[in-house]
């Protein structure tokens, strides 16, 4: 009977590694070419100096936060992100400047290194704040979608676009393990991403949901 737990453990490991390999294997293609990722390849989430607002949900450490995320590109090198709860309390204030995400303010209960780093990385990834001008590879999958891959140290980012060049999926892997998955819904009439959903895997799990609030002409 002692062999049974070992057999179950081995089978579980095989299932896990098969699952992970299957997830990353869809990105293995032979026909690839070097490519510098430009705004014409993937439509940006933030592309002007007007403030963009998202109705936002963040789930982390058993906390469920809801409020408004305000994103403003202040100049060609800087983007400011401020999250305010429905009660008007500022939870964090981040600034992306010259390729670095800097913390201007974090509400003390959230001011833990793992949480802060996850906020910085996930918002940088979701809003596509540091991908343009980077050199990677491009290829086409069996559904005729164009995919791009960027490599940062041991991290690999894959971007799946539609024929209209809007982003539909972004996945990040550390070696062969998926660390995050981001889904994008693009509104063709408004020419903007109306919904972004992000799930971070690992020891500290995050879930983000950003619904863009349409701009008014007032």
Mean pLDDT of 158-169: 93
> Residue 153, Cβ neighbours under 10 Å: how many?
6
pLDDT digit string, tens, across residues 172-194: 999 889 999 999 999 999 999 99
Question: pLDDT category, 16, cuts 50, 70, 90?
Answer: very low
Task: State the average pLDDT over residues 42-52.
Answer: 86
pLDDT attached to residue 9:
42
Segment (H or E) for 140: strand 135-140
Mean pLDDT on 86-90: 92
Helices and strands of the chain, counted as H and E runs: 2, 13
217 C-beta neighbours (distance < 10 Å), count = 3
Q: What is the mean pLDDT of residues 205-209?
A: 93
Long-range contact set of residues 151-157: C-beta below 8 Å, sequence gap at least 24: 155/179, 157/125, 157/131
Q: Which pTM was predicted?
A: 0.85
**Residue 23 — very low, low, confident or very high, per pLDDT cuts 50/70/90?**
low
Using the Cα atoms of residue 128, residue 43, residue 197 and residue 16 in order, give the sign of their dihedral.
negative
How many angstroms from the chain centroid is the CA of residue 144? 23
Using CA atoms, how far residue 91 sits from 43, 69, 107, 198, in Å, is 29, 10, 5, 19
Work out the pLDDT band at 48, boundaries 50, 70, 90.
confident
Indicate whether 41 pLDDT > 80: yes
């Amino acid at each position: 009977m002692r062999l049974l737990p070992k057999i179950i453990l081995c089978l579980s490991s095989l299932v896990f590694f098969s699952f992970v390999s299957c997830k990353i294997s869809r990105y293995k293609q032979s026909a690839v070419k070097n490519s510098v990722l430009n705004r014409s390849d993937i439509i940006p989430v933030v592309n002007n100096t007007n403030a963009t607002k998202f109705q936002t949900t963040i789930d982390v450490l058993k906390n469920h936060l809801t409020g408004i995320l305000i994103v403003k590109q202040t100049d060609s090198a800087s983007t400011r992100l401020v999250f305010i709860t429905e009660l008007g309390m500022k939870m964090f204030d981040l600034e992306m400047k010259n390729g670095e995400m800097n913390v201007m303010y974090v509400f003390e209960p959230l001011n833990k290194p793992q949480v802060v780093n996850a906020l910085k990385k996930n918002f940088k990834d979701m809003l596509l704040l540091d991908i343009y001008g980077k050199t990677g590879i491009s290829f086409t999958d069996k559904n005729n979608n164009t995919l791009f891959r960027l490599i940062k140290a041991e991290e690999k980012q894959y971007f799946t676009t539609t024929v209209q060049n809007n982003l539909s999926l972004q996945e990040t892997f550390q070696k062969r393990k998926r660390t995050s998955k981001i889904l994008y819904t693009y509104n063709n009439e408004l020419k903007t991403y109306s919904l972004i959903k992000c799930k971070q895997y690992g020891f500290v799990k995050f879930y983000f949901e950003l619904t863009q609030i349409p701009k008014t002409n007032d």
